[in-house]
């Protein structure tokens, strides 16, 4: 296999098992640029088959999320909004790619954006249209038409067949000075349960430097936040350049991080030990919304914004 980012063909394995199914799944790190990817990468046809059989997505089935998930998604949406607002990104046209149940699109519409979504799952997009009156187009990244001031992709990029091609498409879908907001799982995080990392739906595993490199032909990163996820803002370059690969030192650092990753690190250096308590608090909060209509759950969260 050739590396999707640098075209090099020598790798070291970082995992052999799909953590969700215990089936064999080889995930490898490129020796030259440090990008971590499934090896081999599935073909587009294999991906489609996988999604239609194994993932929670039946692309046509009606979708009705539980109130607790709407509440959770709403809270996450408002954290993402705060992250934007802190950088004075709070108006203009916004497109959420992979908009799911529409919570983010709805809330951003209420908070000053002219917001829309694009979502391949008909059940999800119908739900968002009907429940919140959101403007959602059915489709994937390549079906974006028009140009936007802000484009968001939350936990989408790691599922796509080529991150570099995705950035090219996004570049052409943004207005001049437009902002791209990407969030992906962060492979370097100490705070991520090893149980949730390597599985078939995730084709790519990003470090800070490999995400910057994947975007570097078209975008410059200008704000980075790390927790268990990696959040990054990008601004489009005036014109496309060559790819900026991670330095040798960065590649060595990622290799070292991958060797240290595991349960011991998660429990004692991450926040593994606190998680059960946080879950209990979350359970109390979510029990309160269990009979509420979806829009009311989101509107109530809106009223918590200072
Ligand atoms: Zn590479």
* Residue 132 CA, ligand 1 centroid: distance in Å: 43
* Residue 59 CA, ligand 1 centroid: distance in Å: 33
| Residue 162, phi then psi, degrees to nearest 5 | -150, 110
* Residue 36 CA, ligand 1 centroid: distance in Å: 8
What tens digit of pLDDT does each residue of 205-262 get?
999 999 999 999 999 999 999 987 999 999 999 999 999 999 999 999 999 888 876 6
* Residue 211 CA, ligand 1 centroid: distance in Å: 12
What pLDDT, on a 0 to 100 scale, did the predictor assign at position 293? 94
Residue 274 backbone class (left: φ over 0; alpha: ψ -120 to 50; beta: rest):
alpha
pLDDT band at 304 (very low <50, low <70, confident <90, very high): very high
* Residue 5 CA, ligand 1 centroid: distance in Å: 5
Token match 């927790």: residue? 227
* Residue 58 CA, ligand 1 centroid: distance in Å: 34
What tens digit of pLDDT does each residue of 45-65 get?
888 777 766 665 566 677 889
Alpha-carbon distance of 36 to 13, in angstroms, equals 9
Candidate from 133-137, 197-201, 207-211 with smallest mean pLDDT: 197-201
Neighbours of ion ligand 1 (CB under 5 A): 3, 5-6, 8, 30, 32-33, 35
Q: Give percent helix, percent strand, percent coil of the chain, each to the nearest 5.
A: 40, 25, 40
Alpha-carbon distance of 117 to 280, in angstroms, equals 33
* Residue 172 CA, ligand 1 centroid: distance in Å: 25
Whether the pLDDT of residue 98 is over 90: the answer is: yes
* Residue 200 CA, ligand 1 centroid: distance in Å: 20
- Domains of the chain are 61-302 (3.40.50.150)
What pLDDT, on a 0 to 100 scale, did the predictor assign at position 188? 85
- Predicted TM-score (pTM) of this structure: 0.91
* Residue 251 CA, ligand 1 centroid: distance in Å: 10
Q: At what angle do helices 294-302 and 103-110 cross, to 10 degrees?
A: 50
* Residue 34 CA, ligand 1 centroid: distance in Å: 6
């Amino acid at each position: 296999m050739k590396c999707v980012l640098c075209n090099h063909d020598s790798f070291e394995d970082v995992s052999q098992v799909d953590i969700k199914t215990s089936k064999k799944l080889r995930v490898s790190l490129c020796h030259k640029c440090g990008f971590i990817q499934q090896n081999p990468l599935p073909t587009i046809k294999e991906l489609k088959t996988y999604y239609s059989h194994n993932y929670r997505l039946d692309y046509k089935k009606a979708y009705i999320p539980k109130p607790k998930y709407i509440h959770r998604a709403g809270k996450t949406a408002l954290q993402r909004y705060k992250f934007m607002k802190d950088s004075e990104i709070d108006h203009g046209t916004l497109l959420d790619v992979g908009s799911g149940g529409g919570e983010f699109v709805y809330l951003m519409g209420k908070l000053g954006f002219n917001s829309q979504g694009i979502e391949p799952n008909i059940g999800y997009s119908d739900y968002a249209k009907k429940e919140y009156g959101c403007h959602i187009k059915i489709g994937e990244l390549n079906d974006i038409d028009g140009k936007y001031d802000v484009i968001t992709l939350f936990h989408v990029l790691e599922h796509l067949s080529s991150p570099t091609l995705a950035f090219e498409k996004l570049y052409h879908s943004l207005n001049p000075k437009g902002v791209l907001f990407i969030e992906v799982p962060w492979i370097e995080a100490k705070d991520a349960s090893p149980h949730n990392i390597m599985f078939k739906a995730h084709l790519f595993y990003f470090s800070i430097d490999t995400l910057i490199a994947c975007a570097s032909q078209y975008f410059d990163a200008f704000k980075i936040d790390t927790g268990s996820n990696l959040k990054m803002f990008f601004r489009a370059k005036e014109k496309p350049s060559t790819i900026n690969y991670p330095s040798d030192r960065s590649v060595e650092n990622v290799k070292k991080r991958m060797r240290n990753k595991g349960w011991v690190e998660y429990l004692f250096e991450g926040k593994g030990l606190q998680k059960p308590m946080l879950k209990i608090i979350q359970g109390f909060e979510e029990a309160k919304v269990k009979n509420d209509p979806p829009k009311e759950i989101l509107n109530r969260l809106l009223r918590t914004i200072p």
